[in-house]
Structure 1
Amino acid sequence: MKIAFVCTENLPSPAIKGGAIQVLIDGIVPILSEKHDITIFSVADPPLPKQEKIGNIEYIRVPYQYFSREITKQLAKSQFDIIQVYNRPKAILRYKEVAPNSKFILSLHNDVMREAKISSELGIKVIETCDHILTISHFIKQQIIKRFPEAEQKTTVAYSGINLNEFPPIWSPYIQPIRQHYREKYGVENQKVILFAGRLCKSKGPHLLIQAMKPLLKKHPDAVLVIAGGRWYSDNSIDYYVNYLHQLAKPLKDKVLFTKFIPAQEIPKFFLMADIFVCSSQWEEPLARVHYEAMAAGLPIITTNRGGNTEVISHLKNGYVIDEYNHPNEFVDAIDYYLSNPNVALQYAKNGRLLVEENFQYKHTFKHIETVYDSIRSSINEK
């Protein structure tokens, strides 16, 4: 079949500037393109050509300021069997007008069907127009059907995934030189590295980890917090909150390190230098893909009981889940638990790695999506 992916207008594809949607598409289209002709529409970016074709995958990139208009034009002149639109439900109504014979899938990585984002009237129209809805977690699915019960029968959960080859576990003998190199590069050799990776915004909660460091260092003076990320994807500018983080960390000196934005291809190496990974999210996470990455890398994980996080992290099985997510002392206790019980931490990490191997590789994501495609193909053939 001929399938179009319509990315959001924020980031280009491939994921040269990061983005969970773009990273996921990078992971699944090599598998999908073995069976289908794939066209990926995304925003233009200076290092990338406006149009290119790699095997059965065609990339078409349009300027940000004309994104909606240009995508609509492109879809109007092409004949796609399936058009898969990411995170932009209202756009489907416009695209359907110009591509009435195409089947539409709405892929949701966020709760963009909530009242603040779309009216009940438009939401119902979107659901009626869609042939299927894919959500990144059960949390997002439940949020949708809570407001729009009619969506339940056409909504499927397709978890994100990773490429295991890109994320060897930290206990692998052959990666020890890489682990040592990065630890030396950032001056954290012989220290216990606590890693945060994500955008520097209040909803991600890195301020709580900085606040947790002072009491933690009293018991574990060899601990160090590494904060990997920028204000936005590929954006290292300093806003009020980022400045606040730096001021908060000043008294701790070299016990808190800021790396700024890390390109997607470098992230696996950052996981390799860590001893513990913490997702300190304060908002209702759809389900942060960093959990899959940290599990694959063999790190003991601490996360918050927010949104879909606990769909993949089970407390005291393959991670440590914090219920009182906005209390720094809860993070102190969780990190201390791992540092004081290294054998337990290792066992949780191994449980997490096994979970990813069995459930959260890109081949698993592909199977969920391909099942939906098969269903749509069947409906096309019946007609």
Structure 2
Amino acid sequence: MKIALAATEKLPVPAIRGGAIQIYLDSVASIIGKTADVSVISIKDPELKESEERNNVKYLRFDEDSYLEQLTTHVKNAKYDVVHICNRPTWIKTLAEASPETKFVLSVHNDMFAPDKISDQEGMDCISLVAKIITVSDYIGNTITSRFPDAQSKTKTVYSGVDLEDYHPQWTAEGSRIRRRIRDELGLEGRKVVLFVGRLSKVKGPHVLLQAMPKIIEEHPDIMMVFVGSKWFGDDNVNNYVKHLYTFGSLYLENVTFIKFVKPRDIPGLYTMSDLFVCSSQWQEPLARVHYEAMAAGLPIITSNRGGNPEVIEEEKNGFIIYDFENPDAYAIRINQLLSNTNLCQRLGKYGRAKVERDFGWETVSKNLISVYKEAMRYSLGRKDE
């Protein structure tokens, strides 16, 4: 099978600038490439060649400003069996018209079928032309099928994943070593570390965690809340919201620290050095990949009841869901509970690690994708019910 995996026009693959889609594509490509002819297509970057081959995968990179045009020409000429397009439903019609024999699979990582993003006609055109639609959560699937019921038979949730070998829980020998080293580097030895990883954006809710600090400090004066991220992937420039966070955080200099953009390869160690992970998203999150990362590192998770986030949380088994997600006190209560109970933290963390090993490794994700590609091929041949 000859397959192309096409990223959006935003960030390059591999994910040297970050990006969940970019991490996703690069991770599954090398596994699928063991049994199929795989190409990954993304935008050009000064640090990457325009084309190269590594780990049985061809990488092609096009100009950001003419990305769809170049992608369309390439797909037309390359004669792929399956082209997997990420997050761009409005591209499907152009690509399908250029290469009618190709089978198109659309993966949807955000609410791309919202009325302000796609018209009724564009949505119906896309759904009629794709063989399969993959969504990163049931929540995202429902945003599509509730508006376009005809998409129901083509839509399937394929959860994302994580490289299990990159993450070392603190109870392992390697995890213990990493934890000591990074805590020593950051001056956090002996501290109780709560970790936030994500864009410093209001929709991600870091300000809610800062508002929770007084009640957390009251019970745990040795807490350090570590915020990892910047306003946008790879961009450490400071906007007004980030300035507000820095100013707010300065009220708790002994208990709050900010670490700007971290390259993906350096992220796992920050999880390992932490005691628990919190996702305070205020928007309808598709399903943030930080949940998979935290589970892989063996951390208990506190997450907001927004979008697809709760789908990977088993309450009181690998974490807790905050239903009153706008309320700082709700986070403080759960954070204090976990920081006060080491045994509970360990039990939740070990359950989460076992869960991610079972369900969310890249091998599992790749197997699920290959199954979808095969279904797409059968569908296109008029045997969709087989």
Do both share a fold (TM > 0.5)? yes
Instruction: Give the counterpart letter for 2:69 in structure 1.
Output: R
TM-score (norm 2): 0.97
The answer on whether the counterparts of 2:105 and 2:376 sit within 8 Å (CA) in structure 1 is: no
**C-alpha distance in structure 2 between counterparts of 1:379 and 1:216, whole Å:** 54
The count of corresponding residues between Structure 1 and Structure 2 is 383
Within-5 A mapping of 1:231-310: 231-310=231-310
1:222 equivalent in alignment to 2:222? yes
- In 2, the alpha carbon distance for the partners of 1:48 and 1:355 equals 35
Q: In the aligned structure 1, how far is the partner of 2:251 from the partner of 2:372? A: 53
Q: Which amino acid aligns with 1:35?
A: T
Matches within 5 A, 1:320-335: 320-335=320-335
Cα 1:325–1:382 shift into 2, 3 Å? closer
User: Within 1, Cα distance between the matches of 2:80 and 2:332?
Assistant: 52
Cross-structure match for 2:174: 174
Say if 2:21 is the partner of 1:21: yes
- How far, CA to CA, are the matches of 1:183 and 1:55 in structure 2? 34
Deviations 1:53-104 (A, max 9, x none): 2253111111211212221222222111111100000011111111111000
Which runs of no fewer than 5 residues in structure 1 stay unpaired? none
1:152: which partner in 2?
152
Give the root-mean-square deviation of aligned CA atoms: 1.3
Please say which of residues 52-61 and 212-221 is displaced more in the overlay: 52-61
TM superposition shift of 1:229: 0.7
Structure 2: distance between partners of 1:92 and 1:379: 17
Once the two structures are superposed, what CA deviation does each residue of 1:325-366 show, in whole Å capped at 9, x if it has no partner? 011111110100101222112111111111111111111111
Where in structure 2 are the equivalents of 1:61-100 lying within 5 Å?
61-100=61-100
Q: How far 1:5 sits from its partner (Å)?
A: 1.1
Deviations 1:169-213 (A, max 9, x none): 121123222111111111111100000001110010011111111
In 1, the alpha carbon distance for the partners of 2:254 and 2:235 equals 23
Tell me how far apart the structure 1 counterparts of residues 242 and 335 of structure 2 sit (CA, whole Å).
23
1:246 deviates by 0.4
Q: Match of 2:140?
A: 140
Partner of 1:4, secondary structure, is: strand
The alignment partner of 1:151 has SS state of: helix
Q: Could you say what secondary structure the match of 1:286 adopts?
A: coil
- Distance in 1, matches of 2:185 and 2:331, equals 27
**What is the distance in 2 between the residues matched to 1:122 and 1:164?**
39
Correspondence for 1:108: 108
Q: Distance in 1 between matches of 2:367 and 2:55?
A: 21
Measure, in 1, the Cα distance between the counterparts of 2:220 and 2:352.
Answer: 25
State percent identity of aligned pairs: 41
Indicate the SS of the match to 1:349. helix
Does 2:49 match 1:45?
no
What's the counterpart of residue 357 of structure 2?
A: 357
CA–CA distance in structure 1, aligned partners of residues 348 and 174 of structure 2: 22
Shift of 1:378: 3.5
TM-superposed CA distance for 1:150, in Å, is 0.5
State the one-letter code of the partner of 1:24. Answer: Y
Contact 2:168–2:174 (CA<8 Å) still a contact in 1? Answer: no
Cα deviation, residue 379, structure 1: 4.7
CA–CA distance in structure 2, aligned partners of residues 127 and 381 of structure 1: 17
Can you give the 5+ residue segments of structure 2 that lack an aligned partner in the other structure? none
Runs of 4+ in 1 over 3 A off after TM superposition: 377-383
Aligned AA (2:339): L
Query: In 1, Cα distance between the equivalents of 2:157 and 2:104?
Result: 16
CA distance in 2, matches of 1:143, 1:379: 23
Which secondary structure does the structure 2 equivalent of 1:207 belong to? helix
| Equivalences for residues 111-130 of structure 1 within 5 A | 111-130=111-130
Deviation per CA, 1:118-150: give whole Å up to 9, x if none: 011110111001011001111111111011111
Distance 1:207 1:183 in 2: 24
Q: In the superposition, relative to structure 1, how do residues 12 and 375 fare at CA in structure 2: closer, same or farther (>3 Å)?
A: same
Normalising by the residue count of structure 1, what TM-score does the alignment of the two structures yield? 0.97
The corresponding residue for 1:373 is: 373
Paired residue secondary structure (1:254): coil
One-letter code aligned to 1:32: I
- Tell me, in whole angstroms, the C-alpha distance in 2 between the residues paired with 1:127 and 1:111: 15
- Give 1:381 deviation, angstroms: 6.5
The DSSP-based 3-state class of the residue aligned with 2:196 is strand
Q: Which amino acid aligns with 1:114?
A: A
